[in-house]
Amino acid sequence: MAIARPVRALGLAAIVMWCFFIWNIFTPSAPIKKPEPFNGNMYERDPNLDPTGEPEGLLVRVSEDYAPGIKASARINATLLALVRNEELEDMLSSMKDLERTWNHKFNYPWTFFNDVPFTEEFKEKTQAVTKAECRYELIPKEHWEMPSWINKDLYEESIKVLAANDVQYADKLSYHQMCRWNSGMFYKHPALKDIQYYWRVEPKVHFFCDVDYDVFRYMQDSNKTYGFTINLYDSPATVPTLWPETLKFIAEHPEYIHENNAMDWLTDKTRRPEHNRKAGGYSTCHFWSNFEIADLRFWRSKAYEDYFNHLDRAGGFFYERWGDAPVHSVALGLFEDSSRIHWFRDIGYQHIPFFNCPNSKKCKGCVTGKLTDGESFLYKEDCRPNWFKYVGMG
């Protein structure tokens, strides 16, 4: 008796499914994908996973000599420094509360706020209310903020179009270019900082996670440190295509400024991100993320840095490109300073979206130990700390 065609089709389908089932059982399974490694390299381990203590050396602790308002205090000539707009008040208060809670309520260093327009009374009242330390409110002189006279405005407008076509962030915001220039080479010229030697830069909407129980400014002074950072990243080559070529012109004219213990290898490495090096004319694009920096103003006031900044300023890259203060500061430090005087503050927990510095310490709360970012995994490629550790160390 003949079998109906639908029944034959069902039988054939059953045989195919049975064969597929047997094949799945006896075929070796594919390996499970491993989690994203530190900076894309399975042989590297984020040092923030290791237990973190305070830095070595003389550490000055809190005492009654740090009480607010006293004249003969233990505080040295230093300030917390913020460039901030009136409309960023709430984000600034958030940053202040974090840093006051974790550090400054013990040492009461003054806050110095800068703006290109006058601060409102609301800004002054609310910022002063979250600290017992003195708050100072400063207006940036127009000659420090405005586009300099030698910038060709037509060329600037055309350059902006090119930057925008290359997806350069904030390319069309004149105020962003002005901010980068001011942070690079103008801020330390403000009269309010005339008698200040050290500063700790604090931006709106950042976070601090770890209790710090020593005077950070005294640590910088007593340990002979020039600059302190927490996060070390690659920059976008599209923002700085001629920064390094201009730098090479400058050091060809001034080889005497190059420090014998420089960090040139960190600045020019091309093994980890060769495309960055190629697109940036030989610069790795590695830089200290300067939204956090603790530094000695004498370096920016030095003849080497002043000459370098003036060379860059005349070249016009703060406006024709989008040179940031982070790469400008970093290149100068990497060339003109003893690299042993640059310090990684691994014990200071910090976040500026989307990156973290989160130590393994009982003094820290609110961040995940060793986690560089809470963004997409590809952001781990932006970490340039391994290069700094390789060429300079973790001091």
* CB atoms closer than 10 angstroms to residue 76: 16
* Catalytically annotated residue among 88, 100, 246, 293: 293
Phi, psi dihedral angles at 293 (to 5 degrees): -155, 140
* CB atoms closer than 10 angstroms to residue 331: 26
* CB atoms closer than 10 angstroms to residue 154: 7
Terminal-to-terminal C-alpha distance of the chain: 89
121 is catalytic: no
Instruction: Report the sign of the C-alpha dihedral through residues 79, 84, 90, 91, in that order.
Output: negative
Q: Do 325 and 183 meet the contact criterion of CB atoms below 8 Å apart? A: yes
Q: Which of 287, 264, 277, 291 is nearest to 385 (CA)?
A: 287
Q: Using the 8-state DSSP alphabet, how is residue 280 labeled?
A: T
Cα–Cα distance between 263 and 337 in angstroms, integer?
Answer: 8
Cα–Cα distance between 66 and 110 in angstroms, integer?
Answer: 11
CA distance to 167, 225, 341, per residue, from 261 (Å): 37, 14, 10
Both structure tokens of 68 = 């607010």
Q: List the catalytic residues.
A: 293
